[in-house]
């Protein structure tokens, strides 16, 4: 199965990945940017990169191994990725922190890091706020993650009719504001175990084959 760990910059993704590696059997752990981020990477590039990661996950799935991917990809993007319907199951977790802590962490990275990314402090805080809304409600400002350049490649109609409270839209939220890295990693290990147990019991609510029956093939993403 595919474990998606997403969050805005300075949520603690990199640190927790290092703490997770080797702690869970039959699980490979990756950072989204490992495939390389080209200069001028935009939303369409991320959509296409999502497909590359899903295909890698499918290769691991064929060998009986799960994949955990950490990055900026929110759940809705992953579900709209063409090959996501071939995944055995999908579980998502938002790694988050409060805005004051995020600003402190961003500032600590220095002005050079900020200039290299092309963003501003407010950009990252706003993106974090959007992710919180997205985690709670699939209909929250969805145009933020859609773009014309990759429109025909994505399958937004798989979930465009879902509402807040839909059992398939499940995002665990882990707050890293004051928690040590080891504590966060431990919570994620428990989460992985719980999600795997649902799959074994046949009660996991977000199976890939169910995406394939939700308006598969339609490109109409209008809600």
**pLDDT value at 218 more than 60:** no
Half-sphere exposure of 70 (CA within 13 A, CB side): 23
Closest Cα to residue 219, out of 173, 160, 144? 160
Per-residue pLDDT tens over the stretch 76-117: 999 999 999 999 999 999 999 999 999 999 999 988 888 888
CATH classification number, 2-212, choose in 3.40.50.700, 2.60.40.10, 3.40.50.10540, 3.40.50.300? 3.40.50.300
Q: Which residue has the tokens 């600590």?
A: 108
Residues in CB range of 221: below 8 A, 6 or more apart: 80, 142, 146, 151, 154, 156, 157, 160
Model confidence pTM above 0.85? yes
Whether 13 shows a pLDDT value over 90: the answer reads yes
CA 193 to chain centre: 18
What is the percentage of the chain residues whose pLDDT exceeds 70? 95
Four-residue CA torsion sign, 133, 137, 143, 148? positive
pLDDT at 9 over 80: yes
């Amino acid at each position: 199965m595919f474990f998606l760990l997403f969050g805005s910059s300075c949520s603690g993704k990199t640190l927790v990945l290092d703490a997770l590696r080797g702690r869970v059997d039959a699980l490979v752990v990756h950072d989204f940017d490992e495939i390389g981020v080209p200069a001028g990477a935009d939303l369409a590039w991320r959509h296409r990169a999502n497909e590359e990661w899903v295909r890698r996950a499918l290769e691991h799935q064929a060998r009986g191994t799960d994949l955990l991917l950490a990055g900026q990809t929110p759940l809705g993007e992953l579900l709209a990725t063409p090959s996501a319907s071939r995944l055995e199951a999908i579980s998502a977790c938002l790694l988050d922190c409060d805005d004051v802590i995020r600003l402190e962490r961003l500032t600590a990275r220095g002005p050079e890091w900020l200039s290299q990314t092309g963003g501003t402090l407010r950009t990252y805080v706003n993106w974090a706020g959007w992710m919180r809304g997205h985690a709670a409600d699939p209909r929250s400002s969805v145009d933020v993650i859609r773009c014309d350049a990759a429109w025909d490649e994505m399958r937004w109609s798989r979930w465009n009719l879902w509402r807040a409270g839909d059992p398939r839209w499940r995002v665990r939220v882990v707050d890293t504001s004051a928690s040590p890295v080891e504590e966060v990693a431990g919570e994620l290990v428990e989460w992985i175990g719980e999600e795997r147990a649902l799959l074994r019991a046949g009660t996991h609510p977000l199976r890939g084959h169910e995406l394939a029956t939700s308006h598969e093939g339609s490109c109409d993403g209008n809600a």
